[in-house]
């Protein structure tokens, strides 16, 4: 546990010195998660997103899933749509189902259904290609 605390201390100092370093945000987020500080982990990812240091699909999807886990589906929708718009998140069946779930969780049934239908088209294409 002491090593995690030392790493966390070092990570936060590095962030203070270089707040635009993406890898520092990711490392601090992972440390918080390892220590089971889920809200701190979410905050670190969120700040990375707000500072435009997240540039991988996995980072965007992790943040969107964190938002859903923290019962913030509108933020999840915002992150996924932003990632798709920036062409960081691929429009595929799995990602669209996550977006659809976020809409359903926010009680926006109309958009949830629309996105789910779009996701199912990917499934139908995959099934067609397998036959």
The C-alpha angle 36, 39, 44, rounded to 5 degrees, equals 100
Q: What is the pLDDT of residue 1?
A: 46
On the 0-12 / 13-18 / 19+ scale of CB atoms within 10 A, 20 is exposed
- The answer to the question of residue 60 being in a domain is no
Show the tokens assigned to 90: 């691929």
Do 77 and 38 fall into the same domain?
Answer: no
Are residues 47 and 80 located together in one domain of the fold?
A: no
For residues 81, 85, 86, 89, the Cα torsion angle rounded to the nearest 10 degrees is: 50
Point out the residues of the chain with pLDDT beneath 50: 1
Q: Which domain holds residue 98?
A: 73-131
Number of structural domains in the chain:
2
Q: Per the domain annotation, does 67 fall within a domain?
A: no
Q: What is residue 104's predicted lDDT score, i.e. its pLDDT?
A: 95
Do 1 and 39 share a domain, yes or no? yes
């Amino acid at each position: 546990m002491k090593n995690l605390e030392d790493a966390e201390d070092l990570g936060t100092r590095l962030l203070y010195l270089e707040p635009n370093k993406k890898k520092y945000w990711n490392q601090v987020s992972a440390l918080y998660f390892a220590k089971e500080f889920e809200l701190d982990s979410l905050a670190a990812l969120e700040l990375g997103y707000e500072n435009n240091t997240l540039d991988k699909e996995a980072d965007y999807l992790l943040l969107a899933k964190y938002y859903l886990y923290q019962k913030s589906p509108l933020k999840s929708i915002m992150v996924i749509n932003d990632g798709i718009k920036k062409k960081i998140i691929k429009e595929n069946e799995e990602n669209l189902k996550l977006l659809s779930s976020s809409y359903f969780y926010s009680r926006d049934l109309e958009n949830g259904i629309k996105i789910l239908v779009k996701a199912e088209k990917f499934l139908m294409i995959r099934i067609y290609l397998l036959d």
